[in-house]
Amino acid sequence: MTLGQERGRRIIDSMGGNAIAVVGDVMLDEYIWGTVERISPEAPVPVVNLTGESSTPGGAANVAGNILGLGDKPLLIGVVGNDHSAEVLDWLLREKGIDTQTLLYDPQRPTTVKTRIIAHSQQVVRADRELKADISKERQDEVMRVLFDHRATLKGMIISDYGKGVITKSLLKRLIEFCLKEDIFVAVDPKDTNFPRYKRVSLVTPNHHEAGFAYGLRIIDETTLATVGFGLLERLEAKAILITRGEKGMALFQAGKEMKLVPTVAQKVFDVTGAGDTVIASFVSAVAAGATMEEATVISNQAAGVVVGEVGTAVITKEALREQFR
Protein backbone atom coordinates (compact mmCIF):
# COMPACT_ATOMS: atom_id res chain seq x y z
CA MET A 1 0.00 0.00 0.00
CA THR A 2 1.48 3.33 -1.07
CA LEU A 3 0.59 7.01 -1.04
CA GLY A 4 1.66 9.43 -3.75
CA GLN A 5 3.89 12.31 -2.68
CA GLU A 6 1.51 14.99 -3.92
CA ARG A 7 -1.50 13.52 -2.11
CA GLY A 8 0.63 12.91 0.97
CA ARG A 9 1.80 16.50 1.05
CA ARG A 10 -1.76 17.75 0.70
CA ILE A 11 -2.90 15.64 3.66
CA ILE A 12 0.02 16.74 5.84
CA ASP A 13 -0.58 20.39 4.94
CA SER A 14 -4.25 19.95 5.91
CA MET A 15 -3.40 18.39 9.29
CA GLY A 16 -3.79 20.69 12.29
CA GLY A 17 -6.35 22.96 13.84
CA ASN A 18 -8.70 20.17 14.94
CA ALA A 19 -9.71 19.52 18.56
CA ILE A 20 -8.85 15.93 19.53
CA ALA A 21 -9.54 14.51 22.99
CA VAL A 22 -6.93 12.28 24.60
CA VAL A 23 -8.37 10.31 27.52
CA GLY A 24 -6.33 7.87 29.57
CA ASP A 25 -3.31 7.20 31.72
CA VAL A 26 -1.09 10.25 31.90
CA MET A 27 2.35 9.72 33.37
CA LEU A 28 5.75 11.28 33.86
CA ASP A 29 8.71 9.71 32.05
CA GLU A 30 11.96 10.28 33.94
CA TYR A 31 15.36 9.59 32.37
CA ILE A 32 18.63 9.12 34.23
CA TRP A 33 21.55 9.29 31.80
CA GLY A 34 24.99 7.84 32.30
CA THR A 35 27.85 5.65 31.15
CA VAL A 36 28.91 2.11 32.02
CA GLU A 37 32.57 1.23 32.46
CA ARG A 38 32.42 -1.79 34.78
CA ILE A 39 30.28 -4.50 36.35
CA SER A 40 29.44 -4.27 40.03
CA PRO A 41 31.42 -6.58 42.36
CA GLU A 42 28.25 -6.91 44.47
CA ALA A 43 26.08 -8.46 41.74
CA PRO A 44 26.30 -9.15 37.98
CA VAL A 45 24.86 -5.74 37.07
CA PRO A 46 26.40 -2.70 35.34
CA VAL A 47 27.56 0.27 37.40
CA VAL A 48 26.13 3.43 35.81
CA ASN A 49 28.05 6.66 36.27
CA LEU A 50 25.34 9.32 36.17
CA THR A 51 25.79 12.28 33.84
CA GLY A 52 22.35 13.89 33.82
CA GLU A 53 18.61 13.68 34.32
CA SER A 54 15.57 14.75 32.30
CA SER A 55 11.79 14.36 32.36
CA THR A 56 9.09 14.38 29.70
CA PRO A 57 5.32 13.78 29.56
CA GLY A 58 4.50 10.11 28.98
CA GLY A 59 1.53 7.85 28.27
CA ALA A 60 -1.59 9.78 27.31
CA ALA A 61 0.37 13.01 27.89
CA ASN A 62 2.82 11.95 25.19
CA VAL A 63 -0.09 11.28 22.83
CA ALA A 64 -1.25 14.83 23.50
CA GLY A 65 2.25 16.07 22.73
CA ASN A 66 2.15 14.33 19.36
CA ILE A 67 -1.29 15.80 18.64
CA LEU A 68 0.08 19.26 19.43
CA GLY A 69 3.18 18.66 17.33
CA LEU A 70 0.96 17.95 14.33
CA GLY A 71 -0.80 21.28 14.81
CA ASP A 72 -4.00 19.99 16.38
CA LYS A 73 -5.52 21.02 19.71
CA PRO A 74 -5.29 18.25 22.33
CA LEU A 75 -7.90 18.05 25.07
CA LEU A 76 -5.93 16.01 27.61
CA ILE A 77 -8.03 14.29 30.29
CA GLY A 78 -6.36 12.11 32.90
CA VAL A 79 -5.82 11.65 36.63
CA VAL A 80 -2.71 12.61 38.61
CA GLY A 81 -1.83 12.66 42.29
CA ASN A 82 -1.34 15.61 44.59
CA ASP A 83 2.45 15.26 44.55
CA HIS A 84 5.70 16.68 43.21
CA SER A 85 5.58 14.50 40.08
CA ALA A 86 2.21 16.04 39.18
CA GLU A 87 3.74 19.50 39.57
CA VAL A 88 6.61 18.56 37.24
CA LEU A 89 4.22 17.07 34.71
CA ASP A 90 1.98 20.13 34.86
CA TRP A 91 4.97 22.42 34.25
CA LEU A 92 6.27 20.34 31.35
CA LEU A 93 2.88 20.25 29.65
CA ARG A 94 2.27 23.98 30.04
CA GLU A 95 5.76 24.69 28.73
CA LYS A 96 4.84 22.76 25.58
CA GLY A 97 1.59 24.69 25.25
CA ILE A 98 -0.79 21.94 26.40
CA ASP A 99 -3.68 23.05 28.61
CA THR A 100 -3.58 21.23 31.97
CA GLN A 101 -6.89 22.49 33.35
CA THR A 102 -8.58 19.20 32.42
CA LEU A 103 -6.13 17.08 34.42
CA LEU A 104 -8.02 15.70 37.42
CA TYR A 105 -6.27 15.59 40.80
CA ASP A 106 -6.79 12.69 43.19
CA PRO A 107 -4.94 12.87 46.54
CA GLN A 108 -5.56 9.15 47.07
CA ARG A 109 -3.41 8.21 44.05
CA PRO A 110 0.23 8.82 43.11
CA THR A 111 1.10 10.28 39.73
CA THR A 112 2.31 7.41 37.55
CA VAL A 113 6.07 7.72 36.99
CA LYS A 114 8.33 5.57 34.83
CA THR A 115 12.03 6.04 35.57
CA ARG A 116 14.49 4.75 32.98
CA ILE A 117 18.28 4.53 33.38
CA ILE A 118 19.95 4.98 29.99
CA ALA A 119 23.63 4.30 29.27
CA HIS A 120 25.24 4.59 25.83
CA SER A 121 21.78 4.96 24.19
CA GLN A 122 20.67 1.68 25.78
CA GLN A 123 18.03 1.26 28.49
CA VAL A 124 19.62 -0.48 31.48
CA VAL A 125 16.58 -0.75 33.78
CA ARG A 126 13.16 0.80 34.36
CA ALA A 127 11.44 1.47 37.70
CA ASP A 128 7.70 2.25 37.92
CA ARG A 129 5.74 4.09 40.60
CA GLU A 130 2.02 3.60 40.13
CA LEU A 131 -1.37 2.54 41.48
CA LYS A 132 -3.38 0.37 39.09
CA ALA A 133 -6.66 0.41 41.03
CA ASP A 134 -9.67 1.82 39.16
CA ILE A 135 -10.35 5.52 39.57
CA SER A 136 -13.50 6.38 41.53
CA LYS A 137 -16.94 6.87 40.02
CA GLU A 138 -16.65 10.57 40.92
CA ARG A 139 -13.49 10.90 38.80
CA GLN A 140 -15.18 9.01 35.95
CA ASP A 141 -18.11 11.41 36.09
CA GLU A 142 -15.66 14.33 35.94
CA VAL A 143 -14.11 12.88 32.78
CA MET A 144 -17.51 12.69 31.11
CA ARG A 145 -18.42 16.21 32.20
CA VAL A 146 -15.30 17.60 30.54
CA LEU A 147 -16.06 15.75 27.32
CA PHE A 148 -19.68 16.86 27.33
CA ASP A 149 -18.60 20.49 27.71
CA HIS A 150 -16.32 20.21 24.65
CA ARG A 151 -18.45 17.92 22.49
CA ALA A 152 -19.30 20.57 19.88
CA THR A 153 -15.67 21.08 18.81
CA LEU A 154 -14.22 17.57 18.99
CA LYS A 155 -13.11 15.96 15.71
CA GLY A 156 -11.67 12.83 17.26
CA MET A 157 -10.87 10.97 20.47
CA ILE A 158 -7.94 8.79 21.46
CA ILE A 159 -8.37 6.39 24.37
CA SER A 160 -4.87 5.77 25.72
CA ASP A 161 -5.18 2.66 27.88
CA TYR A 162 -2.01 1.70 29.73
CA GLY A 163 -3.86 -0.31 32.36
CA LYS A 164 -3.12 2.17 35.16
CA GLY A 165 -6.73 2.48 36.35
CA VAL A 166 -8.19 5.41 34.41
CA ILE A 167 -9.86 3.45 31.61
CA THR A 168 -12.22 1.40 33.76
CA LYS A 169 -14.81 -0.97 32.33
CA SER A 170 -17.68 1.43 33.05
CA LEU A 171 -15.84 4.53 31.80
CA LEU A 172 -14.77 2.79 28.60
CA LYS A 173 -18.40 1.94 27.85
CA ARG A 174 -19.46 5.54 28.47
CA LEU A 175 -16.65 6.91 26.28
CA ILE A 176 -17.56 4.69 23.34
CA GLU A 177 -21.27 5.43 23.66
CA PHE A 178 -20.46 9.17 23.80
CA CYS A 179 -18.44 8.99 20.58
CA LEU A 180 -21.09 6.94 18.77
CA LYS A 181 -23.81 9.38 19.80
CA GLU A 182 -21.76 12.46 18.84
CA ASP A 183 -20.35 10.82 15.66
CA ILE A 184 -16.75 11.28 16.83
CA PHE A 185 -13.92 9.14 15.40
CA VAL A 186 -12.59 7.14 18.35
CA ALA A 187 -9.30 5.24 18.34
CA VAL A 188 -7.97 3.00 21.11
CA ASP A 189 -4.36 2.27 22.03
CA PRO A 190 -5.22 -1.00 23.80
CA LYS A 191 -4.30 -2.88 26.92
CA ASP A 192 -4.63 -6.64 26.37
CA THR A 193 -6.75 -7.25 29.46
CA ASN A 194 -9.42 -4.81 28.24
CA PHE A 195 -9.50 -6.02 24.64
CA PRO A 196 -12.99 -7.58 24.60
CA ARG A 197 -14.45 -4.23 25.71
CA TYR A 198 -13.27 -2.14 22.74
CA LYS A 199 -16.44 -2.85 20.78
CA ARG A 200 -17.75 -0.66 17.95
CA VAL A 201 -14.82 1.79 18.03
CA SER A 202 -13.42 3.35 14.87
CA LEU A 203 -9.88 2.00 15.27
CA VAL A 204 -7.80 -0.23 17.56
CA THR A 205 -3.98 -0.12 17.26
CA PRO A 206 -2.40 -3.18 18.96
CA ASN A 207 1.12 -4.35 18.29
CA HIS A 208 1.46 -7.88 16.95
CA HIS A 209 2.08 -9.38 20.40
CA GLU A 210 -1.03 -7.73 21.88
CA ALA A 211 -3.15 -8.70 18.88
CA GLY A 212 -2.06 -12.33 18.96
CA PHE A 213 -2.64 -12.58 22.71
CA ALA A 214 -6.09 -10.97 22.44
CA TYR A 215 -7.19 -13.34 19.69
CA GLY A 216 -5.50 -16.43 21.11
CA LEU A 217 -3.20 -17.11 18.15
CA ARG A 218 0.47 -16.24 17.86
CA ILE A 219 1.30 -14.23 14.74
CA ILE A 220 4.16 -15.98 12.93
CA ASP A 221 3.47 -15.21 9.27
CA GLU A 222 1.06 -13.34 7.01
CA THR A 223 -1.50 -16.15 7.19
CA THR A 224 -1.79 -15.97 10.98
CA LEU A 225 -1.59 -12.18 10.76
CA ALA A 226 -4.67 -12.13 8.51
CA THR A 227 -6.53 -14.57 10.75
CA VAL A 228 -5.87 -12.45 13.85
CA GLY A 229 -6.55 -9.10 12.17
CA PHE A 230 -9.84 -10.02 10.55
CA GLY A 231 -10.82 -12.09 13.59
CA LEU A 232 -10.40 -9.13 15.93
CA LEU A 233 -12.20 -6.87 13.47
CA GLU A 234 -15.22 -9.17 13.57
CA ARG A 235 -15.15 -9.75 17.33
CA LEU A 236 -14.93 -6.07 18.17
CA GLU A 237 -17.26 -4.88 15.40
CA ALA A 238 -14.69 -2.14 14.80
CA LYS A 239 -14.29 -0.09 11.65
CA ALA A 240 -10.58 -0.89 11.45
CA ILE A 241 -7.74 -2.73 13.18
CA LEU A 242 -4.17 -1.48 12.68
CA ILE A 243 -1.54 -3.98 13.82
CA THR A 244 1.96 -2.58 14.25
CA ARG A 245 4.66 -5.15 13.47
CA GLY A 246 7.96 -3.53 14.48
CA GLU A 247 10.58 -3.90 11.76
CA LYS A 248 7.93 -5.48 9.48
CA GLY A 249 5.79 -2.34 9.35
CA MET A 250 2.01 -2.31 9.77
CA ALA A 251 -1.11 -4.16 8.64
CA LEU A 252 -4.53 -2.54 8.23
CA PHE A 253 -7.78 -4.51 8.37
CA GLN A 254 -11.20 -3.17 7.34
CA ALA A 255 -14.47 -5.01 6.82
CA GLY A 256 -15.02 -6.02 3.20
CA LYS A 257 -11.46 -5.12 2.16
CA GLU A 258 -8.21 -7.00 1.74
CA MET A 259 -5.42 -6.86 4.29
CA LYS A 260 -3.20 -3.84 3.54
CA LEU A 261 0.50 -4.17 4.37
CA VAL A 262 2.85 -1.22 4.81
CA PRO A 263 6.61 -1.89 5.18
CA THR A 264 8.57 0.04 7.78
CA VAL A 265 10.41 3.17 6.67
CA ALA A 266 12.66 3.48 9.74
CA GLN A 267 16.30 3.85 8.70
CA LYS A 268 17.58 3.41 12.26
CA VAL A 269 15.95 2.26 15.49
CA PHE A 270 17.36 3.62 18.76
CA ASP A 271 14.27 3.51 20.99
CA VAL A 272 10.65 2.42 20.41
CA THR A 273 9.45 4.23 23.56
CA GLY A 274 6.33 6.20 22.65
CA ALA A 275 6.19 4.95 19.06
CA GLY A 276 2.65 3.64 19.57
CA ASP A 277 1.62 7.07 20.85
CA THR A 278 2.94 8.65 17.65
CA VAL A 279 1.18 6.09 15.46
CA ILE A 280 -2.27 6.62 16.93
CA ALA A 281 -1.90 10.41 17.16
CA SER A 282 -0.80 10.83 13.55
CA PHE A 283 -3.48 8.41 12.33
CA VAL A 284 -6.31 10.29 14.04
CA SER A 285 -4.86 13.66 13.00
CA ALA A 286 -4.74 12.51 9.37
CA VAL A 287 -8.32 11.21 9.47
CA ALA A 288 -9.49 14.49 11.03
CA ALA A 289 -7.79 16.24 8.08
CA GLY A 290 -9.76 14.18 5.56
CA ALA A 291 -7.49 11.19 4.93
CA THR A 292 -8.86 7.70 4.31
CA MET A 293 -7.91 4.86 6.64
CA GLU A 294 -5.38 3.62 4.08
CA GLU A 295 -3.81 7.06 3.70
CA ALA A 296 -3.71 7.58 7.47
CA THR A 297 -1.90 4.24 7.83
CA VAL A 298 0.88 5.31 5.47
CA ILE A 299 1.24 8.67 7.20
CA SER A 300 1.35 7.14 10.70
CA ASN A 301 3.95 4.65 9.46
CA GLN A 302 6.10 7.54 8.25
CA ALA A 303 5.66 9.30 11.59
CA ALA A 304 6.75 6.19 13.50
CA GLY A 305 9.85 6.01 11.31
CA VAL A 306 10.91 9.40 12.68
CA VAL A 307 10.44 8.85 16.43
CA VAL A 308 12.10 5.41 16.68
CA GLY A 309 15.29 7.04 15.45
CA GLU A 310 15.51 9.12 18.64
CA VAL A 311 16.42 8.04 22.17
CA GLY A 312 13.71 8.53 24.79
CA THR A 313 10.07 9.50 24.50
CA ALA A 314 9.82 11.51 21.27
CA VAL A 315 7.02 13.36 19.49
CA ILE A 316 6.35 13.93 15.81
CA THR A 317 5.96 17.36 14.20
CA LYS A 318 4.45 18.40 10.88
CA GLU A 319 7.87 19.59 9.73
CA ALA A 320 9.56 16.27 10.52
CA LEU A 321 6.68 14.35 8.94
CA ARG A 322 6.88 16.49 5.81
CA GLU A 323 10.62 15.87 5.55
CA GLN A 324 10.20 12.13 6.17
CA PHE A 325 7.54 11.88 3.49
CA ARG A 326 9.88 13.46 0.94
Report the C-alpha gap between 117 and 100 in whole angstroms: 28
Which residues belong to the active site? 277
Residues 145, 237, 16, 275: what is their CA dihedral angle, to the nearest 10 degrees? 100
CA distance 101 to 112: 18
DSSP string, 246-264: GGG-EEEEETTS--EEE--
Count of residues in the chain: 326
Beta-ladder partners of 59:
26
Phi, psi of 159 (to 5 degrees): -100, 110
Nearest to 27 by CA among 126, 123, 156: 126
